[in-house]
Amino acid sequence: MPSIQRRKLPIGIQTFSDIREDGYYYVDKTCFIEKLANQNKYYFLSRPRRFGKSLLLDTLGCLFEGREALFEGLYIHDKWDWQTRYPVVRLSFGSGVVQSRKELDVRIREQLRTERERLGLTLDHDTDIAGEFETLIRQAHAQAGQRVVVLIDEYDKPILDNLLNPELARELREGLKNLYSVLKDADPHLHFVLLTGVSKFSKVSLFSGLNNLRDITLSSDYAAICGYTDDDIDTVFAPELSGLNREEIRRWYNGYRWGGQKVPSVYNPFDVLLLFEEREFGPYWFESPQCQDKCRTL
């Protein structure tokens, strides 16, 4: 049944706990998440920016950490083993622009240090970045007694931000490849891995050693894992539709489809949320700074 109570619009909110605890609308994607968690181990997903990838990763992180209260009332709640909790390592390259290999290395080390501190671990010897990442995964497994979940957001952004400087882009690619190569040999310590980004991984040769990474970008099973379906608009966001032409919403924003003509098309969530906020139609995603930066790069 459609909700009759208006809630807050989660514009720019990428933290699952904030959405669930602070009265925001939430489109339940946990049917896809349950399938992800139980079918394979290594995944890759490509979607445009501002399409919900970061929220998806944060939701997965909360799930594997066993934060049951956040999932009450959602599809996955009675289908998950809440007694088993996994150590989760989260890395993201979504913020800022990296302008040198040195800056990239510093950012990676800072994130690895943050994750060690969050998990209550220490680095007992000096090592390179690959060694630091491998040690983090191995120690997290040993401490928790459960294998590790690794979630990497915007894996390709440092490269994409520097496409007009091919030499620097290549240097950054090698730096990221050095980090991601750890995942192959860390297999005995890993339970689940998901990397997200904008570009297809096969185009940037970052995962040459990780040949069991399943690309679900065009999988019909996961076509609606990000974005809103027609049903989502008509049910979850029913309180926002008054005064807006439903067909115009479809014409403006329902233009994305991954996995062929037989899968449902999805709405751009950034556009839809800003439409509900502003109450007038406009190319909100295209005019966003992230999109404009990308268009200038291309």
Q: What is the DSSP letter of 89?
A: E
Angle between helix axes 53-64 and 30-39 (nearest 10 degrees) is 60
CATH number of 28-222: 3.40.50
pLDDT of residue 279: 96
Give the separation between CA 120 and CA 106, rounded to whole angstroms: 21
pLDDT of residue 271: 95
- Range from 93-97, 165-169, 288-292 that averages highest in pLDDT: 165-169
pLDDT digits (tens, 9 = 90+) for 160-212: 999 999 999 999 999 999 999 999 999 999 999 999 999 876 555 677 667 77
Lowest mean pLDDT among 141-155, 194-208, 229-243, 270-284: 194-208
Report phi then psi at 67, rounded to 5: -85, 75
Over range 250-255, report the average pLDDT.
92
Whole-model pTM? 0.92
Task: Please name every residue paired with 266 in a beta bridge, in sequence order, or none if there are none.
Answer: 256
Over range 285-294, report the average pLDDT.
58
Lowest mean pLDDT among 57-71, 133-147, 204-218: 204-218
With contact defined as beta carbons under 8 Å apart, do 49 and 198 qualify? yes
Reduced to 3 states (helix: H, G, I; strand: E, B; else coil), residue 228 is strand
pLDDT of residue 295: 44
Over range 95-113, report the average pLDDT.
95
Reduced to 3 states (helix: H, G, I; strand: E, B; else coil), residue 214 is strand
**How high does pLDDT run on average in the chain?**
91
Positive or negative, the Cα torsion across 241, 243, 244, 247? positive
Q: Tell me which residue of 43, 36, 33 sits closest to 76, measured CA to CA.
A: 33
Q: Is 265 left (phi over 0), alpha (psi -120 to 50) or beta?
A: beta
Give the separation between CA 13 and CA 42, rounded to whole angstroms: 26
Q: Tell me which residue of 89, 59, 88 sits closest to 76, measured CA to CA.
A: 59
With contact defined as beta carbons under 8 Å apart, do 63 and 55 qualify? no
pLDDT of residue 213: 87
pLDDT of residue 40: 87
Give the separation between CA 112 and CA 91, rounded to whole angstroms: 8
As to burial, measured by CB atoms within 10 angstroms (0-12 exposed, 13-18 middle, 19+ buried), residue 183 is: buried
Give the separation between CA 14 and CA 226, rounded to whole angstroms: 13
More confident residue, 208 or 133: 133
pLDDT of residue 264: 85
Give the separation between CA 82 and CA 77, rounded to whole angstroms: 9
Residue found under tokens 């890993």: 190
